Chains A and B, each alone.
Chain A
Amino acid sequence: MSTQVKALFATSASTTPAAAASSSRNLLGHAVFILAFIGLWEFASRQEWLNPTFFGRPSGIVAYLWNGLFVDRKLWLELGYTVAGTLISFVLGSAMAIAVGLLFAVFPKFEKAAEPYLTVLNAMPRLALAPLFLLWFGLGIWSKVAVGTSLSFFIVLANTIAGIRGVSADHITLSRSLGATPSQLFFKVTLPSAVPVIASGLRLGLIYSMLGVIGSEIIAAEHGLGQVLSYLQSTFNMNGVMGVTLLLAFLGLLVTAGMSRLERSLLKWQ
């Protein structure tokens, strides 16, 4: 998913007039395709070629979202829980991951000792831990944060380690010949050269945080879009299920777009 999203934003960021013209033509093409798809769907469900109990129908989805967002506005609270859970997991997971990764860079022996444990933990399907986390942290937001954090932590850690290992041997040789101290080597060479790789890890970490939070909300929660989704599914409200899924997709897009923006402003030199 992330590479597709990346590609999507890469094309929308092109700036030459010719590219802009071709991208606006593309946009028109997409609009026509989507409208035709929605129209066909609506038509098919009205003709009862498609069973609306299983597939919903576009007008019903729009009605559900309109009601949830602008009439009774109940979706905002659930959305808020999911976004809050995602952001907290992301910040906690990536802060710990970067800290541990940098610690590994400074103390390679520590990395060697910790590696087998991390490998086992990372191999564990984290969503399977959700029932355990529910017992430990309750039905509220913190059990979701635990799952989200456990996912984002490993992704960001792997990237931090890769970034630090990818430092250029020439930069190290040059700096050493200049008499750079270990701390100068770390802050002037290792860290800045690892930043782009860490940044792409952060992008993935954010997506995985959201995945973890929504997944564990579906299993059990008081609030959150995942919980709403699970409730709608069990009551056969397919318009609602489709609507919330759409909302989640937009949330995912928003999150990655924000991340790309941050990355671009942070890494002007790339």
Chain B
Amino acid sequence: MSAVRIANLTVRFGADVLAVDDFSLDIGQGEFVSIVGPSGCGKTTVLNLLTGLLPLERGEISILGKRPFVGNPDVAYMLARDSLMPWRTTLGNASYGAEVRGVGKAEREAHAMELLRRVGLAGFEHRYPKALSHGMRQRCALARTFTLDSPVMLMDEPFGALDAQTKLQLEDLLLELWREEKRTVVFITHDLAEAVALSDRVIVMSARPGRIVADIPIGLERPRSVKALQKDPEFHRIYAQVWSELERGIAVSGGAAQAAGQQALSA
């Protein structure tokens, strides 16, 4: 059974805005799949449909065989901004998801503490977010997402706001957690290098209306270190290859999409 199956998804906002057009995607269990595309191409819309926050109108979606619904325990959602609650401590934030889902205090805090240790935040569990750096806050958000124990993780540009160095560290941290926990990850980004470094597959979307213009398997060996990949010629060779496939894909999908796609990729 696939972890995530999307078939012929079409999303319209109002009468004339076609946001996502005939989008089909099959993601296997334990797979790490990135979706890249220009802003406004419907990436976040697809995620919101997977979480059930947006109602599905045309097409089919199944997550581990079930239709999406709000509060699906199989799904953990990580937002672009850390969205830590300033009135909760690091521990309180890391265990928030489990708390909403009704896990007992002792159990959820023990689990959150274990994750905080793994993301390198041991000793900061009683601090409030204002005392944490951006990187630390996103580590905490990562701990909160993994504390949920959901087999499918949806991540919406989680490292988009970080500086380059911190970003590399967190990407490696994510890969490490993913390898140990065997989760399925759907990762949204506009950073092609990030997508190539992290993923088993990179899905490229065109500008609105969002369509899949390329589905590229990434053959880099696992386990990977994103930091080490930066100096690896193989990574750069694959990156260049993905780039040209992407250009081809965008050229095929037509003029407007091309302009927007180029713009996104140079960003």
Are A and B part of the same complex? yes
Interface pairs (28), CB distance under 8 Å: A168-B83, A170-B79, A173-B83, A174-B77, A174-B79, A174-B83, A176-B53, A176-B71, A177-B51, A177-B70, A177-B77, A178-B77, A178-B96, A179-B70, A179-B72, A179-B73, A180-B100, A188-B96, A192-B85, A193-B87, A195-B87, A267-B87, A268-B128, A269-B88, A269-B89, A269-B128, A269-B129, A270-B86
Residues in A whose Cβ lies below 8 Å from that of B79: 170, 173-174
**How close is B12's CB to chain A, nearest CB, in angstroms?**
22
Does any Cβ of B come within 8 Å of A200's Cβ?
A: no
A22 at the interface (CB under 8 A from B): no
Cross-interface CB contact of A184 among B53, B87, B100, cutoff 8 Å: B100
| Contact A177 B87, beta carbon cutoff 8 Å | no
Does residue A74 face the partner (Cβ distance < 8 Å to B)? Answer: no
With an 8 A cutoff between CB atoms, is A233 at the interface?
A: no
Q: Choose among A170, A173, A179 the residue that contacts B100 (Cβ–Cβ < 8 A).
A: A179
Q: Is the CB of A170 within 8 A of B83?
A: yes
Q: With A173-B53, A269-B86, A269-B130 given, can you name 9 additional A-B contacts, CB distance below 8 Å?
A: A173-B83, A175-B100, A176-B71, A177-B52, A178-B96, A178-B97, A179-B101, A188-B96, A189-B85
Q: Which residue of B lies closest to A192 (CB)?
A: B87
B67 contacts partner chain A, Cβ-Cβ < 8 Å: no
Measured between alpha carbons, how far is A85 from B217 in the docked complex, in Å?
A: 74
Specify which chain B residues have a CB less than 8 angstroms from the CB of A269 in the assembled complex.
86-89, 128-130
Q: Which residues of A contact B53 (CB under 8 A)?
A: 173, 176-177
| Contact (Cβ within 8 A) A270 B77 | no
Query: A171 near B: Cβ within 8 Å?
Result: yes
B residues within 8 A CB of A177?
51-53, 70-71, 75, 77
Inter-chain CA distance A168–B130, complex, in Å, is 16
A262 to B83: give the CA distance in the assembly, Å: 27
Chain A positions 172-205 with a Cβ under 8 Å from a chain B Cβ: 173-180, 184, 188-189, 192-193, 195
CA of A60 to CA of B255 in the docked complex: distance in angstroms?
Answer: 88
Partner of A171, one of B83, B97, B101: B83
- Residues of A participating in the B interface, judged by any CB pair closer than 8 Å: 168, 170-171, 173-180, 184, 188-189, 192-193, 195, 267-270
Chain A proximity of B68: nearest CB distance (Å): 11
Interface SS majority for chain B: loop
Instruction: Decide yes or no whether B236 CB sits under 8 A from chain A.
Output: no
The residue among A175, A179, A188 with the most chain B CB atoms within 10 A of its own CB is: A179
A15 CB to nearest B CB, Å? 16
A-B contact count (CB 8 A): 59
- Distance, CA A192 to CA B84, complexed state (A): 13
Cα–Cα distance between A103 and B128 once the two chains are bound (Å): 30
Interfacial residues, chain B to chain A (CB-CB below 8 A): 51-53, 70-73, 75, 77, 79, 81, 83, 85-89, 96-97, 99-101, 128-130, 148
Distance, CA A149 to CA B238, complexed state (A): 71
Closest chain A residue, CB of each to CB of B81? A170
* Whole-angstrom distance between the Cβ of A200 and the nearest chain B Cβ: 15
Residue numbers in A under 8 Å from B75 (CB-CB): 177
CA distance A188 to B97 in the complex (A): 11
Closest residue of chain A to B50 (Cβ to Cβ) is A177
**Residue with the greatest number of chain A CB neighbours at <10 A, chosen from B87, B129, B130:** B87
Residues on the A chain within 8 Å of B87, using CB:
192-193, 195, 267, 269
Closest to B131 in A: A269
Q: How far is the CA of A176 from the CA of B51 in the complex (A)?
A: 9
Least CB distance from A269 to B in Å reads: 4
A193 CB contacts on chain B under 8 angstroms: 85, 87
Q: In the bound complex, what is the Cα–Cα distance between A176 and B52 (angstroms)?
A: 10
State the CA gap A176–B48 with chains docked (Å). 11
- Measured CA separation A117–B57 after assembly (Å): 42
A195 CA to B88 CA, complexed, in Å: 13
Distance of A188 Cα from B96 Cα, bound (Å) = 9
Chain B: minimal CB distance from A152 (Å): 25
Q: Closest CB-CB distance, A112 to chain B, in whole Å?
A: 25
Residue in chain B with minimal CB distance to A191: B87
Bound CA span A189–B93, Å? 12
Q: How far is the CA of A267 from the CA of B51 in the complex (A)?
A: 33
Residues on B with beta carbons closer than 8 Å to the beta carbon of A170: 79, 81, 83
The interface residues of chain B lying within 8 Å CB-to-CB of A184 are 100
Q: Point out the residues of chain A lying under 8 angstroms from B97, CB to CB.
A: 178
- Tell me, in angstroms, the Cα distance from A259 to B128 when the chains sit together: 23
- Nearest-neighbour CB distance to chain A for B104, whole angstroms, equals 16
Provide the residues of chain A in CB contact with B88, threshold 8 Å.
Answer: 269
Q: Closest CB of chain B to A186's CB: distance in Å?
A: 13
Nearest chain B CB to A190's CB is how many angstroms away? Answer: 11
Across the interface, B85 reaches (CB within 8 A) one of A171, A178, A180, A267, namely A171
For residue B86, give the distance in angstroms from its CB to the closest CB of chain A. Answer: 6
Q: How far is the CA of A267 from the CA of B75 in the complex (A)?
A: 33
Closest to B80 in A: A170
Residues of B within 8 A of A189 (CB): 85
